[in-house]
């Protein structure tokens, strides 16, 4: 193999780092969103790499729904120390208290939709003009047309018809006051790429991604973890199963998968052979086929 | 068992490279079906996606699962039943990862096709075997060629509907090949397929025993793309300067082409300052070399001033540094047409500058390559234009380098991206290019070409000296802008003239009007400036004149170059000495202010250092003595020399 051979992971890494640096160079007040999941961990790690030996020249921000798995927050704080990043936290809880949003009715309300308001409020509070997000195009059909630099109008809305063509490696980040850009440096990564890279770089990941035993309930074809924010509905019964998570988000709607994957290699093997998409396990996406597209138009990531 | 296969897959993927491709076809040629087929047959479709497809297909009343639905994203499009934007999909085999930029083929969507094509290594063009080569099929080829996609695969689809006829296939291939002679495509392939039935998509079909080539997917897995990379011209547009502490100043960016090694000599554009590569850094590691496609940080041996938008290149391999060039422009804005009156923002590599499109040379018909006169371009129209930018761009022609040859235009009011362009060449003609190259070479040596002899004519220098009554001489006044060089020069000229001397004066103001009108303030051009003036001075000297030159000439090297053209006693260097503060105070035209504000360049004492002469023939104190007195001193000094 020639010394100039570069494999997929090298190419994706270089592309993401290029984009993260473009954001730092083109914007006055960028911020990187951090959810605690693998994509956020990956993206913040790439930012850490991009500016080394300098520090990441912008803060990270976590919009905390309050419905976290215990491990998520401790992992988050530890990780920030490790990469030397500054973290801002905004709570959906506060938006509810201030009457900016209303908690969903019914048992085990999901706060996934509510976090959009908290996010938009935080963006304007800090006058952030660009938010980096860890979304990937392979996650969902509506994401397939997302740009690296996604333009949002003054209301934080995404208009699929009003996106800028992106050619070569030229990203147009110019905007008028009030408008902002969401930038997605890992757009071209697939779930398998993410795990292979994590394995290659030997990153420590939250234990939730690995197999463990937990109390779960099967709701439709989704497996949900039981806990304070997720209790049994009438007529349901719980079971104890070996599971792991493919995504980590709001506990109320993040589905688990049955798995015995103990290490990164096991996860890579499992994903290489899997027959279900990552979001197949997300309760909120299954509500309607165009679910994601609707949420995105309103400003969801 | 499944796990064993997965392990094998996981082991193999480590050395998988990446191929980006784009697809184009007219509505109903079967593009979506073909992509769906590739994803499906290479087992890239997840069970829940299939279930969803089955449900939607059923809802629509289709009997079979419609694979085309897989690649069809937004609801608006679903309603119209066509794809209207660029959608990206991913799949991989054991050998390669593929990124598909899926774009619609209708003329109305030329802009999307161009976008998808800009980064593609390969294009799949679909032709319906029943319809043969249509206008659209030609258009897709033209766009692939304009955007420099190295590999084009023409899939002749729906072979099942023409009974897998070899004759039909050959006929279409023949016709397309003839047309493609006009294109600039390095590698053109033809494959007979049926997207619906799966013939020759993933595996070879028994329905086409006459076809000897590879099935589509195998072809895409094996096509060599490494040879398409430009590993020759090192270009490093600086993205972001990283300066964590005093001891580290790194320039981050992507090596868009070429390679560079530690220790190699580089030059920074536009300052033209030289240095050597000290280190290639990436995260906690240091490397000996950086290659095309890598995002790295470079450190240099010397502290030279470099910021975002500058470009680091090899000293012996410099791109074009120009602010006028010709390009092929694709207009992408539906709201306003191109206007030659408008000022646009131009984004190129990591720099942005203002630009005017001065002229539409012609409009290109994307269906026929026919050229037509035009004064503007509308959405999806393509034309050749002349562009002038406020700052110089560092570019290569697009055929040579996609990353330094492509640019976008942005509307300065709402910041929408309104056009994309590919640079063909600089506006100076090729003859000019050649001359410039020779000029540069000449600069290195400065010796007259051997084959050219000095023509003494019929009037010898002695004759002139006898007639004039004095010897020729070169008086070279150097000093800061505002020191008083010109005023002193004028006085000296007048006094000598009144005495009956044969005298001429060369001044910046006058040579800038014509002789040096084409030069700017880059280092190369400043050197050229002095070279030309020096030779002119020498010619005038050879014809018996006393030549008075008043040029700031701040660099020792510049003055030494002129001095080397004369012998001792025939060249008088006069330092018109004044402090920067005083020079600035005298400046009536606001030149210093402009330079400090970055509006003027190359001003001695501001962005070019003024290197005082160490040992001039004469030093004038211009701070305290006035011009008349100083002129007297010059006359006094030279009287014995002429
Ligand atoms: N018989 C036959 N029909 C095909 C083939 N490929 C596509 N089609 C049909 O042609 C129609 C248009 O296909 P589609 O993939 O939606 O075309 P697109 O507009 O280019 O994306 C659909 O009804 C397909 O089923 C083929 O190879 N053979």
Q: What is the pTM of this model?
A: 0.74
3-class DSSP state of B483: coil
d(CA B190, CA B154): 5
How much of chain A, in percent, has pLDDT values that exceed 70? 88
Averaged pLDDT, A89-114: 82
Is pLDDT larger for residue B60 or for residue B504?
B504
Poorest-pLDDT segment among B56-70, B81-95, B143-157: B56-70
Confirm or reject: Cβ of B524 under 6 Å from ligand 1. Answer: no
Asked if the model's pLDDT at residue A294 lies above 60, the reply is: no
Is pLDDT larger for residue B1 or for residue B197?
B197
Asked if the model's pLDDT at residue B43 lies above 80, the reply is: no
Location of structure tokens 């215990």: A70
Least CB–CB distance from A272: residue in B6, B231, B240: B6
User: Cβ contacts of residue B258 below 8 Å, gap of 6+?
Assistant: B230, B231, B232, B233, B234, B235, B292, B314, B317
* Strands B618-621 and B571-577, sheet pairing: parallel
- The predicted complex's ipTM stands at 0.88
Asked if the model's pLDDT at residue B56 lies above 80, the reply is: no
Atom of ligand 1 nearest to the CA of B82: 19
CB A272 within 8 A of CB B9: yes
Substitution target from B3, B226, B417, B421 for chain A, most A beta carbons within 10 A: B417
User: Cβ contacts of residue B318 below 8 Å, gap of 6+?
Assistant: B267, B269
Is pLDDT larger for residue B38 or for residue B541?
B541
For residue B40, give the nearest of B68, B60, B19 by alpha carbon: B68
The pLDDT, as a whole number, for residue A290 is: 42
3-class DSSP state of B394: strand
For residue A141, give the nearest of B279, B517, B102 by alpha carbon: B102
Confirm or reject: Cβ of B160 under 6 Å from ligand 1. Answer: yes
A145 Cα to the center of ligand 1, angstroms: 22
Quickly state the pLDDT bin for B164 (edges 50, 70, 90): very high
Question: Residue B251: how many CA atoms within 13 Å on its side-chain side?
Answer: 28
Asked if the model's pLDDT at residue A226 lies above 50, the reply is: yes
Averaged pLDDT, B599-607: 79
Give the residue whose CA is nearest to atom 2 of ligand 1: B158
Question: Residue A58: how many CA atoms within 13 Å on its side-chain side?
Answer: 27
Ligand 1 pocket test, candidate residues B27, B33, B61, B125, most atoms within 8 A of CB: B33
Indicate yes or no: CB of B403 within 8 angstroms of CB of A8: no
The pLDDT, as a whole number, for residue A251 is: 72
Confirm or reject: Cβ of B157 under 6 Å from ligand 1. Answer: yes
Indicate yes or no: CB of A7 within 8 angstroms of CB of B243: no
- Pull the structure tokens for residue B514: 């014509």
Instruction: Compute the mean pLDDT over every residue in chain B, rounded to the nearest whole number.
Output: 87
Q: Which residues of chain A neighbour B295 with C-beta distances below 8 Å? A: 13-15, 17-18, 21, 50
The pLDDT, as a whole number, for residue B430 is: 43
Indicate yes or no: CB of B415 within 8 angstroms of CB of A21: no
The pLDDT, as a whole number, for residue A55 is: 96
DSSP string, B182-216: TS--SEEEEEE-BTTTTBTTTB--TT-TT--S--H
pLDDT in tens, B130-157: 999 998 889 889 999 999 999 999 999 9
């Amino acid at each position: 193999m020639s010394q100039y051979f570069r494999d997929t992971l090298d190419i994706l890494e270089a592309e993401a780092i290029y984009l993260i640096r473009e954001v730092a160079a083109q914007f006055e007040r960028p911020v990187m969103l951090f959810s605690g999941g693998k994509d956020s961990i990956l993206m913040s790690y790439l930012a850490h790499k991009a500016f080394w030996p300098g520090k990441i020249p912008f803060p990270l921000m976590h919009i905390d729904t309050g419905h976290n798995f215990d491990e998520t927050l401790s992992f988050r704080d530890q990780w920030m120390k490790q990469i030397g990043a500054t973290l801002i936290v905004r709570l959906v809880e506060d938006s509810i208290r201030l009457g900016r949003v209303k908690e969903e009715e019914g048992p085990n309300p999901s706060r996934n939709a509510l976090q959009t308001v908290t996010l938009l409020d935080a963006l304007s509070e800090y006058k952030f003009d660009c938010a980096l997000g860890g979304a990937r195009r392979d996650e969902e059909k509506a994401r397939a047309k997302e740009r690296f630099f996604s333009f949002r109008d003054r209301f934080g809305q995404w208009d699929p018809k009003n996106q800028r063509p992106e050619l070569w490696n030229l990203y147009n980040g110019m905007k008028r006051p009030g408008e902002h850009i969401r930038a997605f440096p890992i757009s071209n990564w697939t779930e398998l790429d993410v795990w292979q890279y994590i394995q290659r770089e030997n990153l420590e990941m939250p234990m939730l991604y690995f197999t463990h035993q937990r109390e779960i309930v099967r709701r439709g074809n989704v497996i949900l973890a039981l806990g304070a924010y997720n209790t049994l509905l009438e007529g349901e019964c719980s079971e104890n199963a070996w599971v792991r998570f493919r995504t980590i988000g709001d506990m109320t709607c993040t589905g688990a998968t049955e798995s015995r994957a103990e290490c990164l290699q096991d996860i890579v093997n499992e994903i290489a052979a899997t027959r279900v998409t990552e979001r197949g396990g997300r309760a909120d996406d299954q509500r309607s086929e165009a679910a994601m597209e609707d949420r995105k138009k309103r400003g969801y990531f | 068992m499944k796990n064993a296969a997965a392990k094998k897959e996981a082991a193999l993927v480590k050395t998988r490279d990446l191929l980006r491709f784009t697809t184009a076809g007219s509505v109903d040629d079967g593009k979506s079906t073909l992509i769906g087929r590739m994803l499906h047959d290479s087992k890239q479709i997840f069970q829940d996606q299939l279930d969803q497809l089955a449900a939607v297909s059923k809802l629509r009343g289709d009997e079979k699962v419609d694979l085309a639905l897989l690649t069809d994203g937004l609801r608006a499009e679903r309603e119209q039943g066509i794809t209207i934007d660029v959608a990206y999909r991913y799949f991989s085999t054991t050998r390669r990862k593929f990124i598909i930029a899926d774009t619609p083929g209708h003329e109305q969507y030329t802009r999307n096709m161009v976008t998808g094509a800009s980064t593609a290594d390969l294009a799949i063009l679909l032709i319906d075997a029943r319809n043969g080569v249509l206008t659209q099929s030609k258009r897709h080829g033209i766009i692939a060629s304009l955007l420099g996609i190295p590999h084009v695969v023409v899939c002749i689809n729906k072979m099942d509907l023409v009974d897998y006829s070899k004759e039909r296939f050959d006929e279409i291939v023949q016709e397309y090949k003839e047309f493609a002679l006009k294109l600039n495509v390095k590698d053109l392939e033809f494959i007979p397929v049926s997207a619906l039935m799966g013939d020759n998509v993933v595996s070879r079909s028994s329905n086409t025993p006459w076809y000897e080539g590879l099935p589509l997917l195998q072809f895409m897995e094996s096509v060599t793309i490494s040879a398409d990379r430009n590993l020759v011209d090192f270009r490093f547009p600086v993205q972001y300067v990283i300066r964590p502490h005093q001891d580290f100043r790194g320039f981050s960016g992507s090596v868009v082409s070429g390679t560079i090694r530690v220790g190699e000599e580089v030059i920074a554009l536009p300052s033209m300052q030289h240095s050597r590569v000290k280190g290639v850094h990436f995260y906690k590691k240091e490397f000996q070399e950086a290659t095309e496609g890598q995002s790295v940080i470079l450190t240099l041996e010397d502290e030279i001033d470099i910021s975002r938008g500058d470009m680091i290149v090899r000293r012996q391999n410099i791109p074009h540094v120009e602010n006028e060039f010709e390009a092929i422009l694709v207009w992408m804005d539906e709201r306003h047409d191109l206007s030659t009156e408008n000022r646009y923002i131009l984004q190129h590599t990591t720099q942005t500058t203002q630009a005017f499109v001065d002229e539409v040379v012609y409009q290109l018909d994307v269906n026929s390559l026919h050229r037509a006169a035009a004064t503007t371009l509308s959405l999806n129209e393509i034309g050749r234009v002349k562009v002038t930018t406020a700052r110089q761009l560092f570019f290569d022609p697009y055929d040579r380098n996609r990353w330094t040859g492509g640019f976008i235009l942005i509307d300065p009011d709402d910041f929408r991206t309104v056009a994309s362009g590919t640079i063909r060449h600089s506006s100076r003609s090729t003859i000019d290019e050649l001359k410039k190259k020779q000029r540069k070479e000449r600069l290195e040596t400065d010796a007259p070409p051997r084959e050219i002899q000095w023509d003494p004519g019929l009037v010898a220098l002695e004759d002139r000296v006898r007639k004039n009554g004095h010897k020729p001489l070169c008086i070279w006044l150097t000093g800061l802008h505002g020191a008083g060089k010109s005023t002193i020069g004028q006085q000296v000229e007048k006094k000598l003239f009144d005495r009956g001397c044969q005298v001429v004066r060369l001044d910046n103001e006058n040579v800038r009007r014509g002789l040096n009108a084409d030069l700017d303030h880059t280092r190369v051009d400043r050197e050229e400036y002095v070279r030309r003036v020096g030779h002119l001075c020498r010619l005038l000297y050879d014809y018996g004149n006393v030549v008075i030159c008043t040029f700031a000439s701040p660099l020792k090297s510049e003055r030494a170059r002129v001095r080397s053209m004369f012998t001792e006693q025939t060249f008088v260097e006069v330092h018109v000495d004044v402090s920067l503060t005083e020079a600035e105070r005298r400046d009536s035209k606001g030149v210093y202010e402009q330079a400090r504000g970055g509006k003027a360049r190359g001003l001695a004492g501001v962005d070019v250092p003024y290197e005082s002469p160490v040992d001039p023939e004469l030093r004038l104190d211009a701070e305290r003595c006035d011009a008349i007195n100083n002129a007297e001193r010059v006359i006094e000094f030279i009287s014995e020399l002429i």
